[in-house]
Amino acid sequence: MTQHGNTQPASAAFGRLTPLKIIATGAALPPTKVTSAELDIRLGKPPGFVEKRSGIDFRFHGSDSASQVELAVAALRDALNRQAIAPESIDLLIYASAIPVQALPFSAAHVLKASPLKKGISSFDINTSCVSFISALQVAAGLLSTGAYRRIAIVSAELASRGIDWEHEESSIILGDGAACAIVEQGDGQSGILSCLLETYPAGIDLCQIRAGGTRRNPRAGLHHSDFLFQMDGKRLFRQAAALIEGYWQRLLSSAGCSLADLATVIPHQASHVSLEHMRRRLNVPTDVLIDIYRQHGNQVSASIPTALHYAITHDRFKPGKPVALVGTAAGLTLGGMVLMP
């Protein structure tokens, strides 16, 4: 990091800063821990197969009657309680997730109803699949800059296990459930977004999908049971993402005015052990810089990045003056990343 003396903020060494301060985070998990050894038995595999293939020790799955809304509210309450934030101080709720509670009304309304937040505040959903949380942070920063809102809660919650196709080995062994929340305000201008970059390459639109839930597949247009389940061509998806990620990574860092060596922490989407290893080897992200909670959570879809962010904050890996990068790939195919100054 370039030194500019004690009279300038640390962010002055980098690019233009969009003010944003993360003042609290929280997370929640369903009560049921599912080990890879248990999945060996369920899938009829030899001992050790799932752990070796998936790279996961255990993940958490909600029951078939578990509520996505309750999971979201648990993460929100955790964030509020950790910093003793009054619920009535929140004036906007953003629900940033890949899978909605239902098609209509939007999920944020469901979460607001069950939450301790003041009824009547603004709320809406954001969905850019696994990088929804990054999109929500960017939107929140823009709204805070207008003065329209003072304090915003962003919640991501997924019951990924609800969409597992147990006949599809590749995806069935990596998904986990969970929720996370970040509460943000504009702050004093010393912290914020150095860069945010979202790119979509729709040639990969069919490589990762759930077809039902909208107008494309329904009882009138035609529907099959499998349309409600998660479908993924992991090998083709990884090849497409791998071909794009190195150039994308350089564009993200360049727009932030920093290099990999400047980053204190890299918080990736916990997509798979292969994707995390790719970051270590091809993008040269040091192991002690990379946040890797994949073995204990699996792929939590949109909840993955904010859960990893919460881990970074609670493990002293998110410090003022030291840039942090959030980055991930998502269905679409979308690449999403953000460089933050805590």
pLDDT tens-digit map of 97-133: 999 999 999 999 999 999 999 999 999 999 999 999 9
Smallest CA-to-CA distance from 335 within 277, 290, 279 is with 279
What Å distances lie between residue 18 and 192, 193, 341, CA to CA?
A: 5, 5, 10
Q: Shortest CA distance to 59 belongs to which of 199, 178, 186, 162?
A: 178
Averaged pLDDT of the chain: 94
**What's the whole-number mean pLDDT along residues 75-88?**
98
Omega cis (within 30) before 333? yes
Interval 178-207 mean pLDDT: 96
Question: Any bridge partners for residue 215, and if so which?
Answer: none
The string over 116-136, giving b where at least 16 C-beta atoms fall within 10 Å of a residue's C-beta and e elsewhere, is: ebeeebebebbbbbbbbbbbb
> What percent of the chain has pLDDT above 70?
96
**DSSP state letter for 79:** H
pLDDT digits (tens, 9 = 90+) for 220-270: 999 999 999 999 988 899 899 999 999 999 999 999 999 999 999 999 999
Pairing assessment for the beta strands 92-96 and 151-158 based on DSSP bridges: parallel
The H or E element containing residue 341 is: strand 334-341
| Domains recognised in the chain with CATH numbers | 18-185 (3.40.47.10), 192-341 (3.40.47.10)
